[in-house]
Structure 1
Amino acid sequence: MKNIFLTISLLFFAFILRAQDFKKYDKGSFIKGKDSIYYRILFPENFNPTEKYPIVFFLHGSGERGSDNEKQLAHGGNLFLKDDVRKNFPAIVVFPQCPDNDFWANINNTKDENGKRKITFVEGGKPTKAMHALVGMVKDFLKKPFVNKEQVYVGGLSMGGMGTFELLRRKRNTFAAAISICGGDNTNNIKKYQKVPLWIFHGAKDDVVDPAFSMVIAERLKTVGDEVKFSLYPNANHNSWDSAFAEPELLPWLFSHKK
């Protein structure tokens, strides 16, 4: 009984500790015309508004959509709170939240005759409402005097990995480097971001988003792109972000790039 109580206490303490850590992410919103999007933002320790800092935009997956301005921190939020990360990579980190019933990327999400999910990516096309607001938010942040425009980065997982590719092509010449985890895109869109250094991740056993989506983009970029890295985790399913976040070179690689 004591062991059970101790386990519950430790789990509760861990939950409270994480919640307290996430409070370091300030709440914000971007509202302009018909565009509105909520986000959480982490400023560097000892932030000085007269200095310029790198900025990272991180896009969550479909399971973290909503209006609570909190769920989007579930995957990746802790990574940027680590003491060594905050010390070695002082940056502004922004986690926007996609509303329910919307999607970062412009895709067709249907089911085949067997009820299996089928994703097709749109070539070109108009942005979703969430993407339109996201583009506006990014533009707004780039006007801030404390943002280093030479070090603007984007990353995302699952739906956010798809959104990463789409944001790259809709904000060309903005990002110094990007990471996409278990995402995908229409390969005909590659030419619009082939000059952006990219690190692509996927789990070989992913049964939610086909790893072939990432494979084909990586292979195409290797022939036409400036710089691409591809990590395929043989035993990982959809949550390949756990392996990606554990890569010791992930953030050193990302922040090493400048426009």
Structure 2
Amino acid sequence: MQKTLPGFSILVAMLLLQACAAQSHLVQDELQTVTKENLKYYLYYPEDYFDTEDEFGLLLFLHGGGESGRNVEEIKDTGPPKMLVEGKQFPFLILAPQNSHAKKWWNTDAVVQLLDSVVDSNRVDKHRIYLTGLSRGGSASWELATQYPDKFAAMAVVCGMTPLPYAHWIDKDMPIWVFHGDQDDVIHVEESDKMVKKLREMGHDVRYTRYKDVGHNAWGRAYTTDSLYTWFAKQKRID
């Protein structure tokens, strides 16, 4: 006959009692949370905006990590804001917020709250809201496309990182244009290669500009591509 040590029996009994005690203190509760974010931003109006009562499209631009959490003026160093400073005119409004955290990802929920507020207080065609971002802002653009698949008419992403499963949540009716340098040593070009391949396999309308011998600063070429903005202006959501 196998004998059980008294000490072992006592230990088992204590563990069973502790398990029962833990289960008896499992309490269901609920807490309503509130997320607040202080977003500085620039808003561009086309030249003829104030001469007509027409509705206009709007391009949401999300900058990269280098402009995060610093002087808001630095937003003007890249992308469409840089081109505006240089004198380029666009046929739609441009909303350029600043990520207030130097070392954190974009708070995409806060960005959408800002976007909705700007749309509601201006003459914006809700079927012509466009999305673009570079580097960290490109990654946030992919995230926004998954979380708000019914909001944007088109999206352009420049050297952005993206988890491949995002492809399953992106609206198939939203045209996408991806830009990436094949020598990018910050966010590898394979991020875009794999995402574009997956989206195309799923039937998405995707353009891909893969720059040869270009590093992480692919935005310098991508955002000076005039056809990008004519492409944006042609897109419109159909509900």
TM-score by length of 2: 0.78
Structure 1: which 5+ runs fail to align?
1-31, 105-129
Partner in structure 2 of residue 151 of structure 1: 128
CA displacement at 1:142 relative to structure 2: 2.8
Task: Give the equivalent residue in structure 1 for 2:92.
Answer: 91
**Alpha-carbon distance between aligned partners in 1 of 2:170 and 2:84, rounded to the nearest angstrom:** 26
Q: For 2:177, which of 184, 199, 202 is the aligned residue?
A: 199
Of Structure 1 and Structure 2, which has the larger fraction of its residues in strand?
A: 1
Tell me: CA distance 1:74–1:225, structure 2 relative to 1, closer, same or farther (3 Å): farther
Shift of 1:181: 0.3
Return the letter of the residue paired with 1:90.
Answer: P
- Which residue of structure 2 aligns with residue 256 of structure 1? 234
- Equivalent residue, structure 2, for 1:234: 212
5+ residue gaps, structure 2, are: 1-33
Aligned to 2:186: 208
2:7 is aligned to none
Aligned length: 200
Q: Which of 201, 213, 216 matches 1:223?
A: 201
Which residue of 2 is the match for residue 74 of structure 1?
77
Whole-Å separation in 1 of the counterparts to 2:58 and 2:179 = 21
| Alpha-carbon distance in 2 for matches of 1:103, 1:37 | 13
- Give, in whole Å, the separation in 1 of the partners of 2:181 and 2:60: 23
**1:144-196 per-position Cα deviation (integer Å, ceiling 9, x unaligned):** 34011111001010001101111111222110001000002111111211422
Question: Residues 103 and 159 of structure 1 are in contact (CA less than 8 Å); yes or no, is this contact kept in structure 2?
Answer: yes
Whether contact under 8 Å (2:67, 2:74) holds in the other structure is yes
Give the letter aligned to residue 136 of structure 2. Answer: M
CA distance in 1, matches of 2:154, 2:234: 9
Q: 1:131 aligns with which of 108, 120, 129?
A: 108
Residue 78 of structure 1 deviates from its aligned partner by 2.6
Change (3 A) 1:33 1:237: closer
Query: Larger C-alpha radius of gyration, 1 or 2?
Result: 2
Q: 1:60 to 1:199 in 2, by over 3 A?
A: same
1:47 aligned to 2:24?
Answer: no
Aligned to 2:66: 63
Letter in 2 for 1:66: G
Q: Is the 8 A contact 1:169 1:193 kept in 2?
A: yes
Q: Find 1:178's aligned residue among 155, 158, 173.
A: 155
CA contact (8 A) 1:64 1:71 kept: yes
Task: Find runs of 4+ consecutive structure 1 residues off by over 3 angstroms.
Answer: 80-83
Which residue of the partner structure matches residue 243 of structure 1? 221
Tell me by how many angstroms 1:91 deviates.
1.1
Distance 2:113 2:128 in 1: 18
Kindly state the Cα deviation for residue 63 of structure 1 after the two structures are TM-superposed.
Answer: 0.5
How much has 1:33 moved relative to structure 2? 6.6
Aligned to 1:23: none
| 1:241 aligned partner, one-letter code | W
**1:101 CA displacement:** 2.8
- What is the match of residue 36 of structure 1? 38
SS at the partner of 2:226?
coil
Q: Which moved more, 1:35-44 or 1:57-66?
A: 35-44
Distance 2:86 2:74 in 1: 19
Listed one character per residue, the Cα deviations across residues 113-150 of structure 1 (whole Å, up to 9, x for unaligned) are xxxxxxxxxxxxxxxxx222112112222323401111
Distance 1:64 1:57 in 2: 16
Distance 1:169 1:142 in 2: 20
Whether the 8 Å contact between 1:155 and 1:178 is mirrored in structure 2 is yes
State the 1:80 CA deviation: 3.9
> 1:33–1:239: structure 2 CA closer, same or farther, 3 Å change rule?
closer
The structure-2 alpha-carbon separation of the partners of 1:222 and 1:150, relative to structure 1 and needing over 3 Å to count, comes to same
